[in-house]
């Protein structure tokens, strides 16, 4: 009986330990912490995103300083923050990681990193009618892999 209780106790400690451990790394991500406290669909959607599961902050795509609790500092242009990612900026934001083998390795990924190159070469990489941006962005096709707005 004693052994059983001991095992339960150790399991309990492990659960607490890993619970704290995983929420500590999340807790350092001030973008997420503040946005979760505000609530809203972006955060709820993002929790289901592969990027969230890989520990990537909102700042992975939107820039800014994810270590600052001060929203003025966190979301300042000086720290590279972009609120509304538009047009060709979208594919460029994705490609910061997806065209960079070393960066992807840091996240433990060995996926190919040629998507941007292929997009540029393809018929979809041509300019749109407006002449200001490409016909397709990464998110046109990857609606389900990327999620922070409905």
Segment lying near ligand HEC (by CB under 6 A), choices 4-12, 17-25, 27-35 = 27-35
Partners of 134 in beta bridges = 127
Total number of residues that touch ligand HEC (CB under 6 A) = 55
Half-sphere exposure of 10 (CA within 13 A, CB side): 6
- Residue 8 or residue 50: which is nearer to ligand HEC going by CB? 50
Q: Which residue is nearest to ligand HEC (CB)?
A: 83
Nearest-approach distance from CB 77 to ligand HEC, in angstroms:
11
Partners of 127 in beta bridges = 134
Backbone angles phi, psi at 127, to 5 degrees: -70, 150
Question: What residues numbered 105-134 form the site for ligand HEC, per CB under 6 A?
Answer: 107, 109, 111-112, 115-116, 119, 124
């Amino acid at each position: 009986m004693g052994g059983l209780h001991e095992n339960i106790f150790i399991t309990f400690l492990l659960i607490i330990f890993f619970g704290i451990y995983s929420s500590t790394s999340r807790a350092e991500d001030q973008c997420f912490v503040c946005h979760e406290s505000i609530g809203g669909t972006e955060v709820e959607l993002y929790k289901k995103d592969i990027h969230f599961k890989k520990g990537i902050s909102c700042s992975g795509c939107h820039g800014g300083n994810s270590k600052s609790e001060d929203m003025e500092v966190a979301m300042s242009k000086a720290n590279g923050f972009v609120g509304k990612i538009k047009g060709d900026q979208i594919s460029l934001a994705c490609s910061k990681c997806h065209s960079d083998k070393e960066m992807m390795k840091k996240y433990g990924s060995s996926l190919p990193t040629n998507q941007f190159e292929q997009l540029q070469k393809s018929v979809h990489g041509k300019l749109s009618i407006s002449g200001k941006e490409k016909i397709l962005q990464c998110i046109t096709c990857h609606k389900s892999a990327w999620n922070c707005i409905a």
